[in-house]
C-alpha cells in the first residue's frame, strides 16, 4: 500500500477519506485537518490561550500535542477523580504529567481527595442513588471552568472525537432529545454569566486516527478505559456505528457532519431548553441555577 502523499510505504488506510498515508505524511495531514476544523467553526485564534482538558488518554493528549505543534498558546488541566480501580487515576495522572513535562507545557492538576477530602467514587457511595458518572460530569465541568478562569484561558478544549460525537448524536436522536440536539455543536459559546467557551477540535477526527497519531508521535497514553465506562450506553452506540461503518465507509462522518450542516442552514430546527436564570454561587462565585450554593459546593457539605 503506497502513501498518496509521497509514494512511500503507507501505515494507515482511511476508507472514509479514500486515502492512505505514511508515518511522515499522516501526522501533518491530521494536524492540517484539525487546523481547518478550528478555522471552519471559529473555535479560537493565535491570541487565545486554550485550556486543554486532559484525561491521560489518547484523544486529549493527541489534541494537546497538535495544538502545541500548530503554535497555539495552551495549558492543560487534569482532574484527579481518585478512581482506585487498577490505579486508574494514578496511571492517567502520571501519563498526563509526563507528557507535559517532556514538552515544557503547563499542566494544572486538581486532586479532589487532597483539595476537597473525597474521591468521586466515595461521594457516589455516600450519596446513594447518584452514579459516579453523573457526579464526575458535574465535578469536571465546575473545576475545568474554575481553572480556565483562574489561569486566564479564553477557551476550553476537549478531546471529543468523531466517534464520541456520532455516538452522542445517535443517542440523542434515538430518544429525540431535542434540547440536547440543539446544543450538540463543535463550539458552545461562552455565557455572559461566566461559563467559558467550549470547543471540540477533534470532532472530525475518527478515534482510529487519533490513536494512530498518538502512536506515531510516541505519546504514552493510558490504554484502559475508565472502569465506570463499562456500563455506558455510548459504548453500545459506538459498536453499532462501527458495524455500520465497516459496511458503509464514511457513515459516521456523514451522520454527524450532515446533521451539523442541516441544522446550520435551518433545515432542522430544535429549540434549546430554556435555562433558569443564573446567579453566582455564594461560596465559589461560579454560575449556578440553584441559588445559594452551586451543586459542586453543596456536594462537599454532605
Ligand atoms: S466513565 Fe467517564 S464520566 Fe464516568 S466516571 Fe469515568 S471518566 Fe467520569
Ligand atoms: Zn508519505
Ligand atoms: Zn460553588
Angle at 97 between CA 212 and CA 141, to 5 degrees: 85
State the pLDDT at residue 123: 94
- Facing residues of 103 across strands? none
Read off the pLDDT of each residue in 278-300 and give the average, rounded to a whole number: 92
Backbone angles phi, psi at 119, to 5 degrees: -90, 170
**274 pLDDT band (50/70/90 cuts)?**
confident
Question: Where in 112-238 does DSSP place strands (E)?
Answer: 155-157, 187-188, 197-199
Q: What digits encode the pLDDT tens for the residues 250-271? A: 999 999 999 999 999 999 888 8
Rounded CA separation 64/155 (Å): 13
At 194 the pLDDT is: 86
Query: In angstroms, rounded to a whole number, what is the distance separating the alpha carbons of residues 232 and 279?
Result: 32
pLDDT at 193: 79
Determine contact, residues 55/78, Cβ cutoff 8 Å.
Answer: yes
Calculate how far, in angstroms, residue 243's C-alpha sits from the geometric centre of ligand 3: 43
Angle at which helix 25-40 crosses helix 207-216, to 10 degrees, equals: 130
Nearest CA to ligand 1 atom 7: 226
Instruction: Give the residue, by CA position, lying nearest to ligand 1 atom 1.
Output: 229
- Predicted confidence (pLDDT) per residue in 106-146, tens digit: 999 999 999 999 999 999 999 887 899 999 999 999 999 99
Q: Tell how far the Cα of 85 is from the centroid of ligand 2, in angstroms.
A: 41
Domain coordinates of the chain in residue numbers? 30-271
Taking the centre of ligand 1 as the mean of its atom positions, its distance from the CA of residue 232, in whole angstroms, is 9
CATH domain 30-271 topology: Rossmann fold (3.40.50)
- Nearest-atom number in ligand 1 for the CA of 226 is 6
Q: What is the mean pLDDT of residues 81-92?
A: 90
Taking the C-alpha atoms of residue 82 and residue 43, their distance in angstroms, rounded to an integer, is 32
Atom of ligand 1 nearest to the CA of 140: 8
Confidence of residue 84 (pLDDT cuts 50, 70, 90): confident
pLDDT at 209 over 80: yes
Rounded CA gap, 288 and 279, in Å? 5
Confidence of residue 221 (pLDDT cuts 50, 70, 90): very high
Whether pLDDT at 50 is above 80 = yes
Amino acid at each position: 500500500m503506497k502513501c498518496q502523499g509521497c509514494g512511500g510505504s503507507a501505515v494507515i488506510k482511511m476508507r472514509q477519506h479514500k486515502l492512505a498515508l505514511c508515518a511522515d505524511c499522516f501526522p501533518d495531514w491530521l494536524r492540517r485537518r484539525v487546523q481547518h476544523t478550528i478555522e471552519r467553526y471559529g473555535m479560537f485564534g493565535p491570541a487565545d490561550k486554550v485550556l486543554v482538558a486532559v484525561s491521560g488518554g489518547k484523544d486529549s493528549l493527541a489534541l494537546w500535542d497538535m495544538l502545541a505543534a500548530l503554535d497555539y498558546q495552551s495549558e492543560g488541566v487534569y482532574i484527579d477523580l481518585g478512581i482506585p480501580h487498577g490505579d486508574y487515576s494514578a496511571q492517567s495522572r502520571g501519563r498526563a504529567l509526563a507528557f507535559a513535562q517532556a514538552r515544557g507545557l503547563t499542566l494544572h492538576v486538581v486532586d479532589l481527595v487532597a483539595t476537597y477530602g473525597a474521591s468521586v467514587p466515595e461521594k457516589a457511595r455516600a450519596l446513594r442513588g447518584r452514579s459516579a458518572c453523573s457526579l464526575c460530569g458535574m465535578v469536571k465541568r465546575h473545576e475545568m471552568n474554575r481553572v480556565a478562569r483562574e489561569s486566564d484561558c479564553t477557551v476550553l478544549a476537549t478531546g471529543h472525537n468523531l466517534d464520541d460525537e456520532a455516538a452522542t448524536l445517535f443517542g440523542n436522536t434515538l430518544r429525540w432529545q431535542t434540547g440536547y440536539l440543539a446544543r450538540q455543536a463543535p463550539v458552545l459559546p461562552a455565557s455572559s454569566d461566566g461559563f467559558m467557551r467550549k470547543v471540540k477540535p477533534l470532532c472530525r477526527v475518527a478515534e482510529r486516527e487519533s490513536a494512530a497519531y498518538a502512536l506515531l508521535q510516541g505519546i504514552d497514553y493510558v490504554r484502559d478505559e475508565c472502569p465506570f465506562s463499562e456500563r455506558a450506553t455510548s459504548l453500545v452506540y459506538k459498536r453499532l456505528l462501527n458495524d455500520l461503518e465497516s459496511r458503509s465507509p464514511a457513515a459516521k462522518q456523514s451522520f454527524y457532519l450532515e446533521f451539523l450542516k442541516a441544522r446550520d442552514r435551518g433545515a432542522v430546527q430544535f429549540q434549546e431548553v430554556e435555562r433558569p436564570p443564573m446567579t453566582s454561587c455564594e461560596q465559589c462565585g461560579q454560575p449556578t441555577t440553584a441559588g445559594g450554593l452551586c451543586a459542586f459546593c453543596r456536594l462537599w457539605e454532605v
